[in-house]
Amino acid sequence: MNNNIFYIAAALCLSAAACTKKLDRLPTNDITPDKAYSTSTGYKEGLAKVYAAFANTGNTGGTGNPDIPTQIINDEGNSDFLRLYFNLQELTTDEGAWTWQNDAGIQGLHEMSWSSINPIVDGLYYRSFFQIALCNEFIRQSADGVLDGKHFPSQSVDSIRHYRAEARFLRAYQYWVLMDLYGNPPFVTEKDAIASTIPKQISRADLFKYVESELKGAADSGLVAPHTNEYGRADQAAAWALLARLYLNAQVYTGTARYTDAITYCNKITVAGYSLHPNYSELFRADNNLNIDENIFTIAYDGTYIQNYGGTTYLIHGPANIPGTITGCNGSWTGLRLTQQSVQLFPDYSGNTDHRAQFWQTGQTLDMTDMYTATAGFSTFKYRNITKSGAPAPHADPAGNYSDIDFPLFRFGEIYLIYAESVLRGGTGGDAGTALKYVDSLRSRAYGGAAGVIPAGQLTTDFILDERGRELYYEACRRTDLIRYGKFTTGAYLWAWKGGVESGTAVADKYNLFPIPSTDLSSNPNLKQNPGY
């Protein structure tokens, strides 16, 4: 009988021991990094997320599985890169106001009175760092030492090395965004281990050097030649375009002008065989992925495969009161309008002469008499989710929510303007005649003929700023441009409701930078707030 007790006890002990193994549970579908990167397809899927990090809001189309926690942005539809970036680059300027002041973070943007607690200011910061963290991880996982252990065919290894260079480019792009908007962000690279590093802060000037060297490094070793990559992926021209933009603004970032370098990289792109797409309005259509003549680097969107409520979906629905039949969607969110100052950059804003003036005027007033009234100020249908032929977007979702339009982060038209401005600002390696020719070619396209051509004497830096306003409005450049011209916070240029008053007023210089989010200041003891906040 005692033996029986012994058996029971022994059985109990055995079962207990056998079960301890059951404490190692693994998820069903989510996999560990070494599994994810066990195949070359896995690397491509890793790379897909590195890119998707600035296109999508999360891992599920529409909403439902956000990348950015709801503590930072409550409404996932607002948490993608472009919508956040657009809001900070455009709503703070003469080009935009948003009707719904109760929407998170809107209040204070156009008034230029934002604080260090603002979901849009926080949102872009954390979105940029999300993509940076993905890039760091991808670069770590694709390091030569790691790849050596995988025994992939050499062709696959070569491809992965290109992917790695693209991750370096994307990281540099996001650090450029952070440098441009926040000045002195924290700094992490692939050398910093996840979940155990407290990043150090980097100065704007040092970050400039880092971005510059990373772009050159990626361009020189890894990125493929212009026009030789798959659509959607970065090539050398993308890095050159960002370098051109970086040098154009170097005075702002570092105190030292680098216009000659800007011209150098514009020239490299020109030589690489880009040209202006013949029709301006076709640049922002559902099938603009076909514009390989002008597109240098785009964020891809798709009504079926790349669905979210930011991106160009925001840019077709957002503009106020434009019928869905025109924008190619199920209707307007009645939000975005432009100030009259921005519209009046076009001497004839009807669109009859300069076809870039694509303003919706029906029911709208020219003057933005109120920041938060949907009919105050024109809106624009620059982005239309229909094809060049006017057909429905090829991958449109039946509900009419999502856009197929790709967003040009860099297009060749801007390169002409960078070139011209750099020449006018004293850069060498270019000449005034070419600058004028470039500007005239943009304007000829806009006017549909020579009517847009200007006399040489008219080409000044101020003209370039206005021309950028006409050519690149709603392309998320405006805040950076106004700062470069000293017109963002000062009284040198006033627009409706700048500083919160209808006639516009200057605001404190601190607004040339956004504040480091207070959330990060309280979780990272290495950080110091930007001056004035």
Partner 1 sequence: MQKRLLVRIPILLLLLCLSSALFAQKKTVTGKVTDAKDGSPLAGVSVQPKGDLKSGVVTGNDGSFTITVNDYVKTLVFSFIGFGTLERPVAAGDMNIALTGSSSGLNEIVVIGYGTVRKTDVTGAIATVGEKDFQKGSITTPEQLIAGKVAGVSVVSNGGQPGAGSTIRIRGGASLNASNSPLIVIDGVPLDNDAIAGAGNPLSFMNPNDIESFTVLKDASSAAIYGTRAANGVILVTTKKGRGGALKVNLNSTNSVGTLVKEVPVLSAAQFRSIVNTSGTAAQKAMMGGANTNWQDQVFQDAFGTNNNLSISGGLKKLPYRLSIGYQDQNGILKTDNLQRTSVGLAINPVLFDNHLRIDLNLKGSAQHTRFANQGAIGGAVTFDPTQAVYSKSSRYGGYFEWLDPTNPTGLTNLAGRNPLGLLEEHYNRSTPKRSIGNLQVDYKFHFLPELHANINAGYDVSDGKGTTFVPDSAAESYIAGGTGGQNNRYRTTKTNTLFEAYLSYSKDIASIHSHFDVLGGYSYNNYLTKVYNYASFYASGSKVPNSDPAFPFDKPEHTLLSWFGRANYSYADKYLLTATIRRDGSSRFGPSNKYGTFPSVAVAWRLKSESFLSGVDAVSNLKLRAGYGVTGQQDGIANYAYLSVYALSNSNASYQFGDSYYQGYRPGGYNPNVKWEQTATSNIGLDYGFLDNRISGSVDYYYKKTTNLLNSIPQPAGSNFSAYILANVGDMTNKGVEFSINFQPIRTNRVTWDLGFNITYNKNRITNLTVIPGDTSYPGFASGAIAGGIGGQFGLINAVGGPKNTFNLYQQVYDAKGQPIEGVFVDKNHDGIINQQDLFKTKPADPQTFMGFTTNVTVGRWNAGFVLRASLGNYSYNNIFSQTGTLNQILGNSVLYNGSTNYLVTHFKGGNAQQLLSDYYIQNASFLRMDNLSAGYNFGAISHTHTNLRFIAGVQNVFVITKYKGIDPEISAGTDVGPGNPGIDNNLYPRPRTYFLGLNLDF
- Using CB under 8 A as the binding criterion, the count of chain residues that bind partner 1 stands at 120
Per-residue mark of binding to partner 1, 500-519 (x: CB under 8 A): -----------------xxx
Q: Which is nearer to partner 1, 15 or 154 (CB)?
A: 15
Q: Which is nearer to partner 1, 56 or 422 (CB)?
A: 56
The footprint of partner 1 on residues 445-484 (CB under 8 A) is none
Q: How far apart are CA 398 and CA 327, in angstroms?
A: 15
Q: How far apart are CA 439 and CA 414, in angstroms?
A: 10
Q: Which is nearer to partner 1, 228 or 350 (CB)?
A: 228
Q: Which is nearer to partner 1, 264 or 312 (CB)?
A: 312
Q: How far apart are CA 180 and CA 490, in angstroms?
A: 18
Closest alpha carbon to 346 in 330, 331, 361: 361
| Residue 498 DSSP code | G
Q: How far apart are CA 430 and CA 293, in angstroms?
A: 22
Q: Which is nearer to partner 1, 143 or 492 (CB)?
A: 143
Which part of the chain contacts partner 1 (CB under 8 A), choosing from 2-10, 215-223, 425-433, 479-487? 2-10
Which part of the chain contacts partner 1 (CB under 8 A), choosing from 145-153, 182-190, 277-285, 459-467? 182-190
42 binds partner 1, rule: CB under 8 A: yes
The footprint of partner 1 on residues 196-225 (CB under 8 A) is 196-199
Neighbours of 25 (CB within 10 A): 6
Q: Contact with partner 1 (CB under 8 A): which of 39, 60, 503, 505?
A: 60
Using a 10 angstrom Cβ sphere, with 0-12 exposed, 13-18 middle and 19 or more buried, the burial of residue 207 is buried
Q: How far apart are CA 481 and CA 417, in angstroms?
A: 12
Per-residue mark of binding to partner 1, 363-402 (x: CB under 8 A): ---------x-x----------------------xxxx--
Q: How far apart are CA 485 and CA 472, in angstroms?
A: 16
Closest alpha carbon to 514 in 133, 92, 200, 189: 92
155 binds partner 1, rule: CB under 8 A: no
Which part of the chain contacts partner 1 (CB under 8 A), choosing from 118-126, 148-156, 257-265, 493-501? 118-126
Q: Contact with partner 1 (CB under 8 A): which of 85, 98, 169, 187?
A: 187
Q: Contact with partner 1 (CB under 8 A): which of 96, 183, 186, 318?
A: 186
Residue 395, classed as helix, strand or coil, is: coil
Per-residue mark of binding to partner 1, 291-310 (x: CB under 8 A): ---------x-x-xxxxx--
At 95, the amino acid letter reads E
| Residue 75 DSSP code | S
As measured in angstroms, the least distance from the Cβ of 301 to partner 1 is 8
Q: Which is nearer to partner 1, 217 or 324 (CB)?
A: 324
Structural tokens at position 200: 């150090």
Closest alpha carbon to 240 in 217, 223, 204, 215: 215
Give phi and psi for 409, each to the nearest 5: -70, -40
Phi/psi region, residue 474 (left: phi>0; alpha: psi -120 to 50; beta: rest), is left
Q: Evaluate the CA torsion angle 413, 416, 417, 419 in order and state its sign.
A: positive
Q: Contact with partner 1 (CB under 8 A): which of 82, 91, 121, 132?
A: 132
Q: Contact with partner 1 (CB under 8 A): which of 69, 491, 531, 532?
A: 69
Which part of the chain contacts partner 1 (CB under 8 A), choosing from 124-132, 349-357, 425-433, 504-512? 124-132
The footprint of partner 1 on residues 237-256 (CB under 8 A) is none
Structural tokens at position 209: 């050097």
Q: How far apart are CA 79 and CA 54, in angstroms?
A: 10
Q: Which is nearer to partner 1, 458 or 505 (CB)?
A: 505
Q: Contact with partner 1 (CB under 8 A): which of 72, 205, 272, 506?
A: 72
Q: Contact with partner 1 (CB under 8 A): which of 84, 97, 106, 376?
A: 106
Q: How far apart are CA 452 and CA 172, in angstroms?
A: 37
Q: Contact with partner 1 (CB under 8 A): which of 143, 144, 209, 231?
A: 231
As measured in angstroms, the least distance from the Cβ of 463 to partner 1 is 37
Structural tokens at position 480: 């950076």
The footprint of partner 1 on residues 310-329 (CB under 8 A) is 317, 323-325
430 binds partner 1, rule: CB under 8 A: no
Q: How far apart are CA 211 and CA 229, in angstroms?
A: 22
